Amino acid sequence: MMTSLARSAGSRATATFHYLAPIHRLNPPELPFRARYAYAPPKGRPLHNELLEPHSFEVHDLRRHGDVRGLDKSGFDYVRNVPTGFKEWDDDEKIVSSYYPETVRLIKNTLGASKVFIFDHTIRRRVPDKDNVEDRAGRRQPVFRAHIDQTPEAGEYRVTRHMGEERGRTLLRTRTQIINVWRPLRGPVLDSPLGLCDIRSVDWEKDLVVGKLLYRDRFVLDNAPVGVEPRQSIEIRCLVFYEDQPV
């Protein structure tokens, strides 16, 4: 299933999302996992044990939808008019030396954070007919499975892992965020657009399942255009601190 968004289709469309089946909530649960291999997995080793169920929902194109509530209400925000002159997306060293500082400035200026530490980035380029395939050079495609990157416990571990145990524990006593900064490399993106879930629609007790690796579900838009340019994007993941805001 491919994901596309027609520029002429308006701000709304119906999409099909695949959610984990109830088997993953058994007691004891059948915890979902998804393995990543550079080559074919060993004989008899499954890539995953996920059982999925399709559900259809209305999706909105944020580029046309002016009412974005912001991080504290929706869990995401759409920041307009922040072009970048950086073009060296195949050079990791230049990304770290030039694009990282640009992203740090963006977060501080937009959110008022006192400290930002970028702990990794991922370049994704979709290759038609090879969805979910990572080549030997490590180039990755858009992930088509719904997911949250970290549990709260894993998020705390990230802070102490990257900032050190003592400094990390001090920072965790103030407001701390993990923020992904997503930008299309060539746009506007019409192929495999990024899908986001409003946190106000999530039941934190019933809707979430811990897994070893849980990737984003793909969704299909019925009005997807044919022949549009395959998606290219960069995603920056950051630890964001507000040391003047105690928890």
Using one digit for the tens of pLDDT, what is the confidence trace for 105-159?
999 999 999 999 999 999 988 877 665 555 544 567 887 777 788 888 999 999 9
Whether the per-residue pLDDT at 215 is higher than 70: the answer is no
The two tokens of residue 101 are 């500082």
Smallest Cα–Cα separation from 52: which of 226, 237, 220, 216?
A: 216
Q: Specify if 37 maps to a domain.
A: yes
Whether the per-residue pLDDT at 172 is higher than 60: the answer is yes
Percentage of the residues of the chain whose pLDDT score is greater than 90: 32
Q: Specify if 5 maps to a domain.
A: no
Q: Specify if 24 maps to a domain.
A: yes
Q: Specify if 28 maps to a domain.
A: yes
Q: Specify if 103 maps to a domain.
A: yes
Run of H or E including 101: helix 100-111
Range of the structural domain that residue 229 is part of:
12-246
Whether the per-residue pLDDT at 38 is higher than 90: the answer is no
Helix and strand counts by DSSP (H, E) for the chain: 5, 5
Average per-residue pLDDT in the chain? 80
Q: Specify if 235 maps to a domain.
A: yes
Q: Specify if 21 maps to a domain.
A: yes
Q: Specify if 106 maps to a domain.
A: yes
Task: Note the pLDDT of residue 130.
Answer: 64
Domain count, the chain: 1
Using one digit for the tens of pLDDT, what is the confidence trace for 59-109?
888 888 766 778 899 999 988 889 999 999 999 999 999 999 999 999 999
